[in-house]
Amino acid sequence: MGKETIGEFEEVVMLTVAVLYKEAYGITIKEEMEKHLKRGVNLGAMRIALKRLESKGFLKSEFGEVTAVRGGKRKRYYEVTPQGKKVLEQVMETRKQLWKSIPSVAFDFKFG
Amino acid sequence: MNKIVHIKPPQKLLRFFRWFCDPDLVEDLEGDLIELFEERAGSSISRAKTLFIRDILFMFRPGIIKNFEGHKNLNNYGMLKNYLKSAWRNLMKYKGFSTINILSLSIGMAACMVIFLFIKDERSFDAFHEKKDTIYRLCEVQSFPGTNTQNVALSMPGMGPTMTAEFPEIENFTRFRSFGEQLIEVGDQRIMIENISSADSSFLSIFDFPFISGDRNTALNNPYDAIISKETALKLFNQMDVLGETFTINGDQCKITGVIENVPENSHLQFNILLSIRISTQDNPGFDNQFGSNFLNTYFVLNENADLDAMSKRYPDYLSSHIQRDDDINEFYKLFLQPLPDVHLASTDIEHDYNNHRKFNGTYIDIFILIGIFILIIASLNFMNLTTARASNRAKEVGVRKAIGAVKGQLFNQFIVESILLATLALVFAIFLAFISLPLLNNLIDRQFGIVTLFSNLEIVMVIIGATLLLGVLAGLYPSLYLSSFRPVIVLKGFKSYEKKSYFRSSLIVIQFSLALGMIVSTLVVLQQLNFMKNKDIGFGKDHILLVQMRGEAGEKYEQMKQALLGESNILGVTASGQRLGSNFHQWGFKVRKDTGIVSLTPSNVFVDHDYLDVYDIKLLSGRTFSKDFETDDGNAYIINKAFADELGFENPVGKRAAHAWYPDDSLGTIIGVTENFNFNSLHYKVNTLSMVVHTDWGYSEMSIKINGENITQSIQDVERIYNQFVTDYPIRYEFLDDHMQQLYESDQQMGSVITIIAVLSIFIGCMGLFGLASISIQRRIKEVGIRKVMGASTMELLTILSKNFALMILIAFVLATPLTFLFLSGWLDNFAYRIEINPLIFFVGGLLALVIALATISFHVVRAANANPIKSLKYE
């Protein structure tokens, strides 16, 4: 039940937010993710992930300026918090550890 | 990136989105949606729209949907309290209308509850068997030459085992053979026990009659094994621990191997003692391969993917391989399987159906459901009508509420809540009504309904609550829409401008009266048909005939007993027969010599005593009755009925040579008489062909004693005294023939009672509504009445003017209801072989009745208004 854990989808969302830096809001996050994941991302699903990450304290958000496009609605920009960064690093660390522990024979496939 | 185009996305969808979306998210999510839309619209607008719909639908998920709890709820609760309070005050303020509203709704609901109990009871038949969906009863269609085609529930002893062996679809079989009432001896005790039957040992694995003690897997394995019901165990042994005890039946000593719970009322099979069917094979080793005679019931368990149609194609080959005859057996018999639930509810066309406890005509269930719906509609229409008609009373309230900021939706909610409150009150009252009326009803239709059944399981309770809420909403829908649509400026200024004729309200009254009229006419026709059956001349005298069973000594000493009985002044006639009138006689083979040779036929047959026709007042058309003066009349003389005479085709059948099928062709007897047709079966069936014969040495099963109708008690005492004088081995058992005949129409009679009650109720409910409406409409025209009176109109003239509208509506209802009711009733009457024709006059009688009842209701108000002092009504103008 660790509050510190995040799922795979959440990880990608956070990474994308970090990649986009100051430009991370709904549509850009969705498009960036689709670009990297090479599959469609549902706006609703993504929004729920963002909301959850924010409530865990890994992301923070604020409204931007009103613009003429998008029906005059403000954009909500996201940013990774230091806490979020820590979690991301932890996840990466775990993966690295795992990669290191793989015995060389495990991936010793013979072809042809 | 595509060019950004500024096109507005579908606003309706956005509104829907805003409605469900969490307010915290709504702004930026909406922005995202619009941005996506605008971007996509750059390439294709229609595609963008489709994707937009998809996006919004995908948004509809937890996490995004707004939280409906919290502060909003608190507010609603407060308003709800306020709604209930104002509803209650309003209820109390207009007590008369509240009573009419609630009472009519609760009578309707109570009627529905009773109907529900009735249907539930009928549907529960045989439902307690776990294998109920795969159990089938083997039935036959018999079409013998010279007989009406009959569906019978009977089958031959050999069919169960051989069909199970030859049809892979059949997993198991059991046969059920009824012995009726028998004398049971335990030690030196001798007790008559009803419903004694025998069955294959598989019976207990097919049907789930619960065991109290004993092993159901082995209980009927041996020829003299018997299982016994709890009640019978107590009757015979005064205890329930009777495993291994023995009793004697017909000279056979049987051992009790199981005690079961009493067979429930809702089982079509009834037995108190169940013997092993091997008691039959013991005496008759060929029993399991016996064909030809039908006398028991066979049940099969089919495997789940059995195809009944495919099976039925193989029946003809099956029959011809087992029953060898000169002619084709398939011309006489067709087999069919009847699913277990149909045995109780869909066996009305089945004759010789001896093991079918409380058989019921299942089509009546649909009629009852229909009636239940009708009566609820009538009650709801009342509610709608009265509430809308009284709108002026609430108009000010609506105006004030709107003026201080209530929106239409809130007012709508308020009136719906009020309507639900009324429906709930009606429910409480309905339960009370049902509770007090059930004992009466149980008495009338011979059931044991209890109000507790309504609360027996959560599901029913939920259905009742759900139905009440739904009724509240449905009945409140129109009035709520109507009331909440008032414009504050108009209603606060004074309601006058709103008072116009409402066609909607008028059409509600028309519907209501069409339904009530339909019910009045249906009731009249149903009662007429029942009365017709009751009084139809069935061709023999059935009054004051006492049927006395003849067993053992009674059979041996019949002649002496008869002479002694005839010596009594109260006894008008004594005769005897092999079977009882009223439930169809068995069909036997019969042959007749025609010019072309011997012809074989299979009419119904009964053997009787010489004076049978005299005692039963059966009229002869030609020939003579049986007489002791002719020695050959005992076994060689036949009296046939008109139907059979017609079937034979002789110009004059008297004197023709004829006999039972087993008589050699060269020693036939003679047809000595032809009787009028009389209904020896129930009136659901046409008169079958019949041959009667005297066989004094065959052992009659029943004595028919015609007694003096003026002195019934004394007559019965005389019969008992003389019986006991001659017979010591069996106690006297008797029944009145008309009681027995009555049972044949029990299902119809009960249907008649229920329909009458409900028709009266629905008319009552309809009139309550009319009463309320009349009072409203007259109140509204009270000034007009006052003016007319001042100008010199008489009470009669006022009555005509004021009730003209209502009379017109009833007329329209009459025109609407007549054809539909006629169609419905014709369909129902087709169930009967002997039916009345619907007299068109009955519609006028029904219409007139409705009109009179309605006008009487209305005139109560009219007369009061007309007699009132006009000063009162005109004072304030």
Q: Which residue has the higher pLDDT, B641 or B784?
A: B641
What residues of chain B lie within 8 A of the CB of A13, using their CB?
Answer: none
CA torsion angle B328 B331 B333 B334 (round to 10): 110
Q: What is the reported pLDDT for B792?
A: 84
% of chain B at pLDDT higher than 70: 97
A45 and B CB contact within 8 Å: yes
Please list, in sequence order, all residues whose beta carbon lies within 8 angstroms of the beta carbon of residue B388, skipping any fewer than 6 positions away: B478, B479, B482, B483, B502, B504, B505
Q: What is the reported pLDDT for A1?
A: 35
Model confidence pLDDT, tens digit, residues B534-553: 888 888 888 899 999 998 88
CA pair distance B785, B787, nearest whole angstrom: 5
What residues of chain B lie within 8 A of the CB of A48, using their CB?
Answer: 61, 63-64
Quote the tokens at residue B755: 């329909």
Q: How confident is the model at residue B769 (pLDDT cuts 50, 70, 90)?
A: confident
Model confidence pLDDT, tens digit, residues A10-40: 888 889 998 888 888 888 888 888 888 888 8
A71: left (phi > 0), else alpha (psi -120 to 50), else beta? left
Q: What is the 3-class SS of B589-612, one letter each residue?
A: CEEEEECCEEEEECCEEEEECCCH
Query: CA B64, B66, B70: angle at the middle one, nearest 5?
Result: 145
Query: CA B95, B98, B102: angle at the middle one, nearest 5?
Result: 140
Its sign, for the CA torsion B145, B149, B155, B161, is positive
Q: What is the reported pLDDT for B237?
A: 93
Alpha helices in B541-696 (DSSP H): 553-556, 558-566, 612-615, 633-636, 642-648
pLDDT of B6 > 70? The answer is: no
What residues of chain A lie within 8 A of the CB of B36, using their CB?
Answer: 27, 43
Q: How many CB atoms lie within 10 A of CB B703?
A: 24
pLDDT of B340 > 80? The answer is: yes
A27 and B CB contact within 8 Å: yes
Q: How does DSSP assign B692-744, residue by residue?
A: EEE-TTS--SEEEEEE-TT-HHHHHHHHHHHHHHH--SS---EEEHHHHHHHH
Q: What is the reported pLDDT for A3?
A: 54
Q: What is the reported pLDDT for A2?
A: 47
Are B33 and A43 within 8 A, CB to CB?
yes
Are B35 and A69 within 8 A, CB to CB?
yes
Q: What is the 3-class SS of A59-81, one letter each residue?
A: EEEEECCCCCCHHHCCCEEEEEC
Its sign, for the CA torsion B750, B355, B697, B652, is positive
Give SS3 for B802. helix
What residues of chain B lie within 8 A of the CB of A23, using their CB?
Answer: none
Could you give phi then psi for residue B852, rounded to 5 degrees?
A: -65, -45
Nearest to B446 by CA among B122, B44, B793: B122
Are A70 and B38 within 8 A, CB to CB?
yes
pLDDT of A4 > 70? The answer is: no
In Å, how far is A52's CA from the nearest CA of chain B? 9
In Å, how far is B40's CA from the nearest CA of chain A? 12
CA torsion angle B544 B545 B551 B554 (round to 10): 80
What residues of chain A lie within 8 A of the CB of B63, using their CB?
Answer: 44, 47-48, 51-52
A54 and B CB contact within 8 Å: no
Taking residues B481-491, report their average pLDDT. Answer: 83
Nearest CB partner across the interface for A71, out of B34, B60, B61: B34
Q: Which residue of A has its CA nearest to B39?
A: A70
Are A73 and B30 within 8 A, CB to CB?
yes
Q: Please count the CA atoms within 13 angstroms of the CA of B758 that sit on its side-chain side.
A: 32
Nearest CB partner across the interface for A71, out of B30, B61, B63: B30
Q: Which residue of B has its CA nearest to A52?
A: B63
Nearest to B142 by CA among B336, B385, B412: B336
Are B30 and A51 within 8 A, CB to CB?
no
Q: What is the reported pLDDT for B331?
A: 87
Taking residues B328-354, report their average pLDDT. Answer: 91
Whether the predicted interface score ipTM is above 0.95 = no
Nearest to B40 by CA among B32, B28, A72, A13: B32
> How far separated are the first and last CA of chain B, in Å rounded?
78
Contact B257, B214 (CB under 8 A): yes
Are A73 and B59 within 8 A, CB to CB?
no
Could you give phi then psi for residue B530, rounded to 5 degrees?
A: -65, -40
Quote the tokens at residue B837: 């024709």
Q: How confident is the model at residue B494 (pLDDT cuts 50, 70, 90)?
A: low
Average pLDDT, chain B: 87
Q: What is the reported pLDDT for B311?
A: 94
Quote the tokens at residue B717: 């005492």
Q: Which residue of B has its CA nearest to A31?
A: B36
Nearest to A30 by CA among B740, A20, A57, B523: A20
pLDDT of B159 > 90? The answer is: yes
Its sign, for the CA torsion B612, B617, B619, B623, is positive
Are A43 and B59 within 8 A, CB to CB?
yes
B699: left (phi > 0), else alpha (psi -120 to 50), else beta? left
Rounded CA Rg of chain B: 37
Q: What is the reported pLDDT for B655?
A: 93
Chain B residues whose C-beta sits inside 8 Å of any chain A C-beta: 4, 6, 8-9, 25, 27-36, 38-39, 55, 58-61, 63-64
Quote the tokens at residue B535: 């009084």
Are A27 and B36 within 8 A, CB to CB?
yes
Most confident of B499-513, B537-551, B748-762: B537-551
List the single best residue of A23, A47, A59, A63 to mutate versus B (max B Cβ within 10 A).
Answer: A47
Q: Please count the CA atoms within 13 angstroms of the CA of B773 that sit on its side-chain side.
A: 27
pLDDT of B76 > 80? The answer is: no
In Å, how far is B37's CA from the nearest CA of chain A? 9
Could you give phi then psi for residue B182, rounded to 5 degrees?
A: -135, 160
Quote the tokens at residue B384: 């709608």
What residues of chain B lie within 8 A of the CB of A47, using their CB?
Answer: 25, 29, 32, 59, 63-64
Please list, in sequence order, all residues whose beta carbon lies within 8 angstroms of the beta carbon of residue B16, skipping any fewer than 6 positions away: B56
Q: How many CB atoms lie within 10 A of CB B421?
A: 17
Quote the tokens at residue B315: 């029946």
In Å, how far is B34's CA from the nearest CA of chain A? 5
CA pair distance B760, B773, nearest whole angstrom: 20
A26 and B CB contact within 8 Å: yes
In Å, how far is B435's CA from the nearest CA of chain A? 55
Q: How confident is the model at residue B248 (pLDDT cuts 50, 70, 90)?
A: very high
pLDDT of B839 > 60? The answer is: yes
The single-letter code of the amino acid at B833 is: A
Are B32 and A48 within 8 A, CB to CB?
no
CA pair distance A90, A88, nearest whole angstrom: 5
B70: left (phi > 0), else alpha (psi -120 to 50), else beta? left
Taking residues B301-328, report their average pLDDT. Answer: 90
Q: How confident is the model at residue B501 (pLDDT cuts 50, 70, 90)?
A: low
* Secondary structure tally for chain A: helices H, strands E: 4, 2
Its sign, for the CA torsion B640, B641, B646, B647, is negative
What residues of chain B lie within 8 A of the CB of A25, using their CB?
Answer: 28, 32
Contact B710, B582 (CB under 8 A): no
Nearest CB partner across the interface for B28, out of A52, A69, A74: A74
Q: What is the reported pLDDT for A66?
A: 78
pLDDT of B877 > 70? The answer is: no
Alpha helices in B781-794 (DSSP H): 782-790
Which helix (H) or strand (E) is B875 found in, with range? none
Q: Where do we find the tokens 């009103």?
A: A66
A35 and B CB contact within 8 Å: no
Query: CA B27, B28, B33: angle at the middle one, nearest 5?
Result: 100
pLDDT of B275 > 90? The answer is: yes
Are B63 and A76 within 8 A, CB to CB?
no
Contact B695, B548 (CB under 8 A): no
Which helix (H) or strand (E) is B663 found in, with range? none
List the single best residue of B8, B35, B60, B65 to mutate versus A (max A Cβ within 10 A).
Answer: B35
Q: What is the reported pLDDT for B692?
A: 95
List the single best residue of A43, A50, A56 to mutate versus B (max B Cβ within 10 A).
Answer: A43
In Å, how far is A103's CA from the nearest CA of chain B? 43
Are B34 and A48 within 8 A, CB to CB?
no
Contact B371, B119 (CB under 8 A): no
Are A74 and B55 within 8 A, CB to CB?
no
What residues of chain B lie within 8 A of the CB of A30, using their CB?
Answer: 32
Q: Hey, which residues 57-86 in chain A have their CB within 8 Å of chain B?
A: 63, 69-71, 73-76
Q: What is the reported pLDDT for A111?
A: 62
Its sign, for the CA torsion B455, B458, B464, B469, is positive
Chains A and B form CB pairs within 8 A to the count of: 69
CA pair distance B748, B602, nearest whole angstrom: 30
A25 and B CB contact within 8 Å: yes
Give SS3 for B339. strand
Q: Which residue of A has its CA nearest to B62?
A: A48
Q: What is the reported pLDDT for B537?
A: 84
Taking residues B754-772, report their average pLDDT. Answer: 81
Most confident of B59-63, B764-768, B868-872: B764-768
Nearest to B873 by CA among B772, B777, B784, B801: B784
Could you give phi then psi for residue B211, rounded to 5 degrees?
A: -85, 140
Q: Which residue has the higher pLDDT, B865 or B357?
A: B357
Alpha helices in A1-112 (DSSP H): 8-20, 26-37, 43-56, 82-101
Q: How many CB atoms lie within 10 A of CB B691?
A: 25
% of chain B at pLDDT higher than 90: 39
Nearest CB partner across the interface for B28, out of A45, A48, A76: A76
Nearest CB partner across the interface for B35, out of A27, A52, A63: A27
CA pair distance B487, B472, nearest whole angstrom: 25
Q: How confident is the model at residue B74 (pLDDT cuts 50, 70, 90)?
A: low
DSSP state of B128: T
A44 and B CB contact within 8 Å: yes
Its sign, for the CA torsion B641, B646, B648, B652, is positive
What residues of chain A lie within 8 A of the CB of B55, using their CB?
Answer: 43-44
The single-letter code of the amino acid at B273 is: I
Quote the tokens at residue A61: 């958000």
Rounded CA Rg of chain A: 17
What is the b/e burial string over B146-164, where b = at least 16 CB atoms within 10 angstroms of the residue's CB? bbbebbbbbbbbbbbbbbb
What residues of chain A lie within 8 A of the CB of B61, using their CB?
Answer: 44-45, 48
How many angstroms separate the Cα of B607 from the Cα of each of B576, B617, B834? 9, 17, 27
In Å, how far is B63's CA from the nearest CA of chain A? 6
Model confidence pLDDT, tens digit, residues A63-103: 888 777 777 788 888 989 998 898 889 889 988 999 888 88
